[in-house]
Amino acid sequence: MAGQAVRGIREPTQKIAIAGSDDAVSQRHARAVIDLCLRAGEAMLATGASAADVVATVLRMSAGYGLNGTHVDITFTSVTISVHRGLNEDPISVMRVVKVRTTDYARLQAVYRLIDEITAGDELMHVDEARERLGAILTQPHPYRRWLVTAGKATLAGGVVVMYDASFVLVIVAAVAAIAVDLLTRRMAKWGIAAFFGQIAAAMITTWAAVGMYWLRSMGIELPGANRPTVIVISGIIMLLSGIGLTAAARDAIDGYYVTATARGMEVVMLTLGLAVGISVTIGVAIRLGVPMRVGTTLGPDGGLVAGVVGAALIGVGFALTSYVHLRVVPLMAAVAGLVFAVYYVLLPLTDQPGVVPGLAGVVAGVLGYLVYRWLKVPESAMTMAGIIGLIPGLAVYRALYSIMDSEYGISAAMPALVSAIAVGLGLAAGTTIGGFLTRQTFGLDRSAIIASRRTRGAR
């Protein structure tokens, strides 16, 4: 009796080492499907999709074409697909290396739409036709020219200054510095110089712009409204940090893809170190040259709700342009960014814990990101990133770096700001992930997506 009361009576929630069941699938068909899935997975990973999304999508495609015993392995730079075809047929394993990583949401959106057509249609699309259409997506030109991307970076930097309620002069200086940063980093990338050194050079440009403003003030030249040059550095920090995958690394870790999350996290660390080196060296040189610099203590939401919402909307527009989002989606991203900042501003007085309010705002961004994805098939990460970029802790990072260079006790003095910045970053990452998860559970997925999502996770 006691044994029957405690003995399990159901199958495991996650079956282990089940024999393959794809014996009826021909080798040619299996190879064609794997090739298509690999190309789609590589394209998604290269253009900004998370590891969980790539795995779920590849499993949806392979199941749609009759390969139910497919296994997918994702790392930061490769996609591997294996098919165990039972005892009577040889298994097939193929790997593709992701050589290019960029942010191209227009292309990613087109890939999503193609995959939905493949998996949701009444009549299954032929593999060769799907491969041709995928190739056309991957070779099509960007939705707009490169100079508009540069203008987007200038808009993003200017939006940061507006959000901090600074003057029009500082908006212009920050925008010009952002243009210089974009032109320089693009040239360095063409020369094959590592991104770490590109971050150093970019950070030095924005910091020297602020140093120049401080030097003019020390010489008695007071530009109208240029009383807080610190925001120029902060705009550069947020612009440079917006292009690295802190939230993507956190989401991969939360989803259980620890190898990919570790690689993304190391990339974040290296690029952030490059940013820190560039700012620290410039601040150190400026201090030794006698340029009077200081860090403001009331930058941020003290500028008011209106300035914050307008600045966040401009940041959303700038990020949309830099990530090649279709122009018709740009106003929507601006609205999402403004709404998320409004939520952040309203909740901020309720607690003094650094990561709580950004986390709640991140939940809102995650919810809106998934709703827009279900409505317009715009990638979730595009909307969520547009919503949270304005909340990146640029001021905390700058305070920490300034404290390190300004005092012999710099490390201990910088620790509170560093801890605050880390807490905000983790709060944003966790919030966006939780928001997306809750919305999926509330509004649901299509059946094939639910099955694929469950297959990407372990036992519950």
Structural domain ending residue among the three candidates 101, 125, 141: 141
Higher pLDDT, 351 or 302: 351
Structural domain ending residue among the three candidates 141, 157, 180: 141
Measured distance CA(457)–CA(14) in Å, rounded: 9
* 398 belongs to a structural domain: yes
Same domain for 97 and 185? no
Measured distance CA(101)–CA(2) in Å, rounded: 58
User: Which pLDDT tens digit goes with each residue over 109-166?
Assistant: 899 889 888 877 667 788 889 999 999 998 988 888 889 999 999 999 999 889 887 7
Same domain for 45 and 186? no
pLDDT score of 460: 33
Same domain for 49 and 188? no
Same domain for 153 and 137? no
Measured distance CA(429)–CA(358) in Å, rounded: 9
Same domain for 212 and 131? no
Residue 181 has pLDDT above 90, yes or no: yes
pLDDT score of 361: 92
Residue 62: half-sphere exposure toward Cβ, Cα within 13 Å = 30
* 2 belongs to a structural domain: no
* 164 belongs to a structural domain: yes
* 132 belongs to a structural domain: yes
Same domain for 222 and 198? yes
Write phi, then psi, for 77 (nearest 5 degrees): -125, 10
Residue 299 has pLDDT above 50, yes or no: no
pLDDT score of 76: 82
User: Which pLDDT tens digit goes with each residue over 322-336?
Assistant: 989 988 899 999 999
Same domain for 161 and 177? yes
User: Which pLDDT tens digit goes with each residue over 188-241?
Assistant: 989 989 889 999 999 999 999 988 888 888 787 777 766 778 888 888 888 887
List the domain range (segments joined by +) for residue 106.
Answer: 27-141
- pTM metric for this prediction: 0.84
Cα R_g (the chain), whole angstroms: 24
Measured distance CA(444)–CA(432) in Å, rounded: 17
Same domain for 172 and 37? no
Measured distance CA(317)–CA(158) in Å, rounded: 11
> Residues 368-385: what's their mean pLDDT?
86
* 420 belongs to a structural domain: yes
Same domain for 165 and 236? yes
User: Which pLDDT tens digit goes with each residue over 345-359?
Assistant: 999 888 878 788 989
Measured distance CA(9)–CA(3) in Å, rounded: 11
What does each C-alpha distance from 457 to 52, 55, 158, 367, 453 come to in angstroms?
Answer: 9, 10, 42, 21, 7
Residue 301 has pLDDT above 50, yes or no: no
* 22 belongs to a structural domain: no
Q: What is the chain's mean pLDDT, rounded?
A: 82
Same domain for 132 and 175? no
Which is nearest to 398 in space by CA: 268, 163, 240, 243? Answer: 240
Measured distance CA(334)–CA(63) in Å, rounded: 37
Dig out the tokens for 154 from the structure: 């200038």
Structural domain ending residue among the three candidates 91, 126, 141: 141
User: Which pLDDT tens digit goes with each residue over 251-282?
Assistant: 788 777 888 888 888 888 888 888 888 988 88
Find tokens 């190898």 and name the residue: 259
Percent of the chain with pLDDT over 70: 84
pLDDT score of 405: 64
Same domain for 182 and 37? no
Residue 184 has pLDDT above 60, yes or no: yes
User: Which pLDDT tens digit goes with each residue over 73-115?
Assistant: 888 888 999 887 777 777 888 999 888 888 888 999 899 889 8
Measured distance CA(102)–CA(114) in Å, rounded: 20
* 19 belongs to a structural domain: no
259 in Cβ contact with 444 (< 8 Å)? no
- Domains: count for the chain: 2
Same domain for 34 and 76? yes
Measured distance CA(193)–CA(300) in Å, rounded: 34
Maximum pairwise Cα distance, the chain: 92
User: Which pLDDT tens digit goes with each residue over 11-26?
Assistant: 665 555 555 555 566 7
Residue 17: half-sphere exposure toward Cβ, Cα within 13 Å = 0
* 84 belongs to a structural domain: yes
